[in-house]
Amino acid sequence: MAELTALRFEQHHSGLGVQCSSPRISWTFSAVDESISDWQQLQYEICVRRETGTPLYFVIQSPDSSLVPWPSTPLQSREQAQVRVRVCGSWMDRNTRRAHSGWSAWSSWATVECSLLSAQDWIAVPISSPIVPLSHEDESLRPLLFRKTFELPATFDSVQRARLYITAFGVYRAYLNGCRIGDHEMSPGWTSYRYRIAYQVFDVTSLITTKGSNVLSIEVAEGWYAGRLGFDGGKRHIYGDRIAVMAQLEIDGLAGGRFKVASDISWKFHPSPIVNSEIYNGETYDARVEGENWNQQCPSNVDTDWETVSVLDFPRARLYAPNAPPVRITEILAPQKISTTPSGRIILDFGQNLVGKLLVRSMTLPVDGTVNFIHAEVIEDDGELGTRPLRGAKCVDKVISSGQPLIDWSPKFTFHGFRFVGIDGWDPRSEKKSWKSNIQALVIHTDFKQTGQFECSNIAINQLHQNACWSMRGNFLSIPTDCPQRDERLGWTGDIQIFGPSATFLYDVVGMLSEWMEDVACEQSDHNGVPPLVIPNILDHVWPSIPQALWGDVVIILPWVLYLSSGDRDILHRQYSSMTSWLDQGVRRGRDGLWDPEIWQLGDWLDPQAPPDEPGDCRTNGTLVADAYLVYVTSLMAKIAFVLKREGEGTHYSYKAQCLRALFQEKYITSSGLIVGDSQTAYSLAIVFGLLSTQLQLDTARCQLSARVRMAKFRVSTGFAGTPVILKALTETDNLSLAYRMLLEDRCPSWLYPITMGATTIWERWDSMLPNGSINPGQMTSFNHYALGSVVNWLHETVGGLRALEAGWKTALVSPQPGGSLTYASVSYESVYGHWSCRWKLQFDGDRNEAMTLCLDLIVPPNCRAVVRIQADEDGFSKLDESVGSGKHHWEIPFFPWSWPPQATAPFITNPGKHID
Ligand code: BGC
């Protein structure tokens, strides 16, 4: 029988603070008994226990187990309900070969609690310091401390529950009676603050004292709200120049009644001992001015030094409690090495390029002693810290000592992308505690659950996969960013557009990305359908409104990718008008309906042939890339309209897509199949987006792509547009061996070249570090950019062989395609239904080139089906084609390896390239 785990409400991470009165419910099936196969849900029963009243039961005849409608009357603001579910299913007993049906046990109770559903629920107002910064000031705002003491009325002798609803103009940390509330970092996170501001809901019941006074205290820094953002010096105060907090504490007494403490004019503030804290530049903590016990009931200076706050206007933006999980510390790493550079600076090496900050357990310094911690991703070839790629971001955290030992210091409101930390002013080896245990790197990012895993017999490829996971973690800090270290860290739409399918497989990002998409739609509505290049949009003063394919196409592609991974149709519904306004108004068209060729396109951005300082100088025509995408997104739009049952619009967009496809062919493809520019990117896009019509065209494109790949001696010749699709294009045109050969190449530029240089994350450029160990001279040289890591999608789908066929993974295609020198691969995915796993291995019966056996193990979660399709030789002679239900499956079929290794084309005047076995 299937067991139910993990009841979930909407895409919410915990169930506490759901911004919805009728939250949809999902449940996941845990692994079932080995003797059971083909388990399918026939009906379900939901029990809802409201705070008042008896439990209500609802029986629904339906196979749906993900995002089923809330069965009861809508919940109110703050209302809590307990929910449990049981299901009735049918299955086959493997031993007896007999069909059975029956009910599962009840799941355990899950709690859902609504947040403040209406703006009227807020009595709190934003409070700040009354000091208004002068407009010409180009300095960061000093963080502020806020506090409020209160006593509960005598009738509150015991507390039923207490909740804190809180947000800030900036980033905050809150304390109740000296205890930190929650474990979030950089909350409330970054959203398009003009339109939407996130707030958090904390359960603080255990922190309230009913006897004597309580104190609620909050520290706020400028964060993304007022801090400097953007390159070329950036801009400050983009959303406002007053940092503020808005907090509402609500305490329900056991005997009834609700007591509220809300930020208002009665609060006090004081400057923080953190004298500045900026996202790019880092944080300075002056221990000399730390107020003793500032966040506890009786600080020494509260009556003398603390001043009355000023009240700001209630935000016009929509306040919402996010579904997305918060940013947290998710891992702690110890330094691997300590050394001294030629210039005499002490350097720690954490062995992993990561995003986060330091924690120093204890530091003993003389009074006024100052320590600087300088963060960098790499070491230059001269042995010094490689800080040049950070451009206008200093990435320095600073501590000024009061003379007392400093215990457990860590910056609070900043983060850095680093592997190395230079230390000026203190030698960690001078402490009693060993430097290895005294200093740690705290890894921080949006705390999403890992859903996808991949492993194979090649260690370098495993490292590549791990690097993509690290780059994803580092670049999902509240929003999906391009890079986490230099003076950008922005939500570039193109980067997540191409990495989306990899991201949704690796981690559960549906809540986070669907909320980010809402910001995209808000910002786009102010720009006549053109999504700004970065969301939240902070580049308006530099690039007001530039329509760009690939980047702007995120409005259609990403919601589709999120829908495929989650089956959540509401995402498509919510984003629908953003999609149509992009296609109908935003895209700048020429007279023929394709892109206006006058518009410069980022196109195949970062083509490896582009000079370091001209990353947009690509060999593939930018308008061709844009037009290929236009055909693709228009046909996707048709699919989306049909999913949403908008038949008329579906027909309209599919007609448009056909016309654009014909126009594309006429403009760029000869009748024989040659494509303008003759580049790998052009052929790959045409193949993957289905832009070729006749067999002759398909054959030519196949041969041309193969010729281009052999001519490049298997090194990568594609940028942002071509790289995510080149291996797919080779696979789809029966050039699997070439795809494997490219994947296994390790000379620059290639996926494995950075691995040979010791990379632990995906680089922005293939040669961010040049073969001689020096850093690429280009301005844009990050060592942590997930975009080119989008190749992992091919590892999951083609090498591992797992891909969703039906939205939400109700049906998956299991089709591993072993090749190259790989002898096994394993891939797994935690879907909304449960655990999918596919492992294959080749058993050698004799010589490497003789027949082998392909052993395949598959796990299909309950209520799901798999279509298993395997071609185990080049001619399609040995194959598997089956559809199976849930349970464990095993196959062994004869396997005849593809010819390997393919040869490069070497004109007689050049060298033939590397030989690979
Ligand atoms: C970012 C990219 C981005 C690009 C587009 C860069 O500075 O780091 O990843 O997509 O600009 O112009």
pLDDT band at 117; cut points 50, 70, 90 = very high
What whole-number distance in Å separates Cα of residue 387 and Cα of residue 431? 27
Confidence of residue 303 (pLDDT cuts 50, 70, 90): low
Asked whether residue 773 is assigned to any structural domain, the reply reads no
What's the rounded Cα separation, in Å, for the pair 202 and 251?
12
Alpha carbon of 534 to ligand 1 centroid (Å):
9
Among the listed residues 113, 283, 488, 515, the single catalytic one is 488
Q: What is the CATH number of the domain that holds 7?
A: 2.60.40.10
Average pLDDT, stretch 706-733? 96
Q: Where is the domain boundary, 446, 468, 483? A: 446
Is 287 found in the same domain as 143?
A: yes
- Judgement on whether residues 294 and 413 belong to the same structural domain of the protein: no
Task: List pLDDT tens digits, range 433-446.
Answer: 999 999 999 999 99
Helix axes 622-643, 554-566, angle to 10 degrees: 40
The 3-class SS string of 145-189 reads EEEEEEECCCCCCCEEEEEEEEEEECEEEEEECCEECCCCECECC
Atom of ligand 1 nearest to the CA of 782: 8
Domain count, the chain: 5
Task: Answer whether residue 917 is part of any domain.
Answer: no
- pLDDT, position 32: 67
Report the amino acid identity of residue 568: D
**CATH code for the domain of 185:** 2.60.120.260
Q: What atom of ligand 1 comes closest to residue 231's alpha carbon?
A: 7
Residues 170 and 300 in one domain: yes
SS3 category, 255: coil
Is residue 222 flagged as an active site residue? Answer: no
* Per-residue pLDDT at 80: 96
The amino acid at 412: K
Angle at 823 between CA 819 and CA 826, to 5 degrees: 95
Atom 2 of ligand 1: nearest residue by CA position: 482
| Residue corresponding to tokens 């530029």 | 749
Q: Lowest-confidence range among 135-139, 442-446, 483-487?
A: 135-139
Min mean pLDDT across 136-150, 446-460, 527-541 is at 136-150
**Residue 249, helix vs strand vs coil:** strand
| pLDDT score of 299 more than 80 | no
Residue 847 has pLDDT above 70, yes or no: no
Please tell me the distance between residue 273's alpha carbon and the centre of ligand 1 in angstroms. Answer: 36
Contacts of 242 (CB under 8 A, 6+ apart): 128, 129, 132, 133, 169, 226, 312
With H, G, I as helix, E, B as strand and everything else as coil, classify residue 771.
Answer: coil
Q: What is the mean pLDDT of residues 862-877?
A: 88
| Residue 907 domain-assigned (yes or no) | no
State yes or no: is 488 an active-site residue.
yes
**Is 326 inside any structural domain?**
no
Query: For ligand 1, what atom is nearest to the CA of residue 785?
Result: 9
Give tens-digit pLDDT for 540-573.
888 878 999 999 999 999 999 999 999 999 999 9
- In testing the pocket of ligand 1, which one of 780, 782, 783, 786 has its CB within 8 Å of the most ligand atoms? 780
> Residue 710 sits in which domain range?
452-767+788-799
Closest atom of ligand 1 to CA, residue 482: 9
How confident is residue 53, by pLDDT bands cut at 50, 70 and 90? Answer: confident
Ligand 1 mean position to 587 CA, how many Å?
20
Ligand 1 centroid vs 912 CA: distance in angstroms? 35
Does pTM top 0.85 for this prediction? yes
Using the predicted structure, report yes or no on whether residue 31 has a pLDDT greater than 80.
Answer: no
Q: How far is the CA of 261 from the centre of ligand 1 (A)?
A: 45
* pLDDT at residue 587 is higher than 90: yes
Q: Ligand 1 atom 3: the closest Cα is on which residue?
A: 492
With 70 as the cut, is the pLDDT of residue 909 above it? no
Structural contact between residues 800 and 826, judged by C-beta atoms closer than 8 angstroms: yes
Same domain, 526 and 660: yes
- Per-residue DSSP letter, 740: H
Instruction: Return the residue whose CA atom lies nearest to atom 1 of ligand 1.
Output: 482
List pocket residues of ligand 1, CB cut-off 6 Å: 482-483, 488, 492, 494-495, 602, 605, 780, 785, 787
775: which 2 tokens? Answer: 């850093």
CA of 481 to the centre of ligand 1 (A): 10
**pLDDT-derived band of residue 850, with 50, 70 and 90 as boundaries?**
low
**100 and 140, same domain (yes or no):** no
Same domain, 660 and 522: yes
CATH number of the domain residue 883 falls in:
2.60.420.10
Q: Which of 390, 411, 446 is the last residue before a domain boundary?
A: 446
Closest C-alpha residue for ligand 1 atom 7: 780
Residue 65 and residue 192 in one domain: no
482 CA from centroid of ligand 1 (Å): 7
Distance 549 CA to ligand 1 centre (A): 14
Render pLDDT for 277-289 as a digit per residue (tens, 0 to 9).
999 999 999 999 9
Which amino acid, residue 425?
A: G
Protein residue with least CA distance to atom 4, ligand 1 = 492
Ligand 1 centroid to Cα of residue 755, in Å, is: 23
Q: Residue 428: which of 439, 420, 419, 418 has the closest Cα?
A: 439
For the chain, give the mean pLDDT. Answer: 94
In 744-759, which positions are buried (b, 16+ CB within 10 angstroms) versus exposed (e)?
bbbebbbbbbbbebeb
- Is 911 part of any domain? no
Quick check: is 325 in a domain? no
CATH number, domain containing residue 755? 1.50.10.10
- Over 60: is that where the pLDDT of 880 sits? yes
- Which domain-ending residue is among 269, 291, 320? 320
724 and 857: one domain? no
Q: What is the mean pLDDT of residues 344-370?
A: 97
Q: Shortest CA distance to 455 belongs to which of 826, 821, 799?
A: 826
Domain shared by 395 and 285, yes or no: no
Locate the ligand 1 atom nearest the alpha carbon of residue 493 and give its number.
10
User: For a substitution probing ligand 1, which of 482, 539, 625, 765 has the most ligand atoms within 8 Å of its CB?
Assistant: 482
What is the number of the ligand 1 atom nearest to the C-alpha of 494?
A: 10
Q: What is the largest CA-CA distance in the chain?
A: 94
Residue 775 lies in a domain: no
**Does 531 map to a domain?**
yes
Choosing from 10, 523, 764, 830, the catalytic residue is 764
- Residue to probe by mutation, ligand 1, list 475, 488, 783, most atoms within 8 Å of CB: 488
What is the average pLDDT across 806-835?
A: 96
- Quick one: 301 and 341 in the same domain? no
Residues 157 and 181 in one domain: yes
Q: Whose CA is nearest to atom 8 of ligand 1?
A: 482
Q: Whose CA is nearest to atom 9 of ligand 1?
A: 482
Query: How far is Cα 397 from Cα 422, in angstroms, rounded to an integer?
Result: 11
Same domain, 345 and 282: no
Q: What is the pLDDT of residues 733-779, one digit of tens each?
A: 999 999 999 999 999 999 999 999 999 999 999 999 999 999 998 88
